[in-house]
Amino acid sequence: MQIDRIELADCTSPERVISEILRQLPDLQIPVPIEDLAVAVGITDIHRMTTQNFEGGLITQPERRDGVILVNGTANRLRQRYTIGHELGHFLIAAHKPGTSGQFTCSKADMSIRKAGRDDRYKRMESEANRFSAGMLMPLPMFKADMRSQGAPDLQNVVALAARYDVSKEAAAIHYSTYHHDMCAIILSQDDIIRRVYKPSRFPFVEAAIGKPLPHNSLSSGSQNSEAEWDEVDRGVWLASLERPSSINEQALSLAGGWKMTMLIVDETEDESEVDEGFRDTFDVWENPQFPSKSRRR
Q: What is the pLDDT of residues 101-123, one digit of tens each?
A: 678 999 989 988 888 888 888 89
- How many helical (H) and strand (E) elements, i.e. helices and strands, does the chain have? 7, 9
Residue 100 has pLDDT above 70, yes or no: no
- Quick one: pLDDT at residue 244? 62
Digit-coded pLDDT (tens) for 253-279: 999 889 999 999 987 665 444 444 333
- For 97, half-sphere exposure in the C-beta direction (CA atoms, 13 angstrom radius) is 5
Instruction: Assign a CATH topology to domain 140-270.
Output: Beta-Lactamase (3.30.450)
Give dist(CA 9, CA 17) in Å, integer: 9
Residue 239, Cα to own-chain centre: how many angstroms?
A: 23
Alpha helices in 102-212 (DSSP H): 121-137, 140-150, 155-165, 169-179
> What are the sequence ranges of the domains in the chain?
5-137, 140-270
* Domain 5-137, CATH class in plain words: mainly alpha
What's the Cα-to-Cα distance from 153 to each of 60, 188, 254, 283, rounded to whole Å?
43, 16, 17, 23
Q: What would the 3-class secondary structure string for 7-18 be?
A: HHCCCCCHHHHH
Q: Quick one: average pLDDT of 136-159?
A: 96
Say what percent of the chain tops pLDDT 90. Answer: 63
- Quick one: pLDDT at residue 268? 63
Residue 238 burial (10 A CB sphere; 0-12, 13-18, 19+): buried
In the chain the first and final C-alpha atoms are separated, in Å, by 40
What's the Cα-to-Cα distance from 3 to each of 21, 73, 254, rounded to whole Å?
7, 27, 42
Give dist(CA 121, CA 144) in Å, integer: 31
Residue 227 has pLDDT above 50, yes or no: yes
- Quick one: pLDDT at residue 296? 38
Give dist(CA 245, CA 70) in Å, integer: 50
Residue 298 has pLDDT above 60, yes or no: no
On whether the CB atoms of residues 147 and 184 are closer than 8 A, the answer is: no
Global pTM reads 0.83
Q: Quick one: average pLDDT of 152-160?
A: 95
- Quick one: pLDDT at residue 224? 73
Of the ranges 178-182, 201-205, 273-277, 279-283, the best mean pLDDT one:
178-182
- Quick one: pLDDT at residue 119? 82
Instruction: Specify which residues 213 forms β-bridges with.
Output: 193
Residue 78: DSSP 8-state: H
- Quick one: pLDDT at residue 265? 93
Window from 23-32, 180-189, 235-244 with minimum mean pLDDT? 235-244
For the chain, what is the mean pLDDT? 86
Digit-coded pLDDT (tens) for 36-82: 999 999 999 999 998 777 899 999 988 889 999 999 999 999 999 99
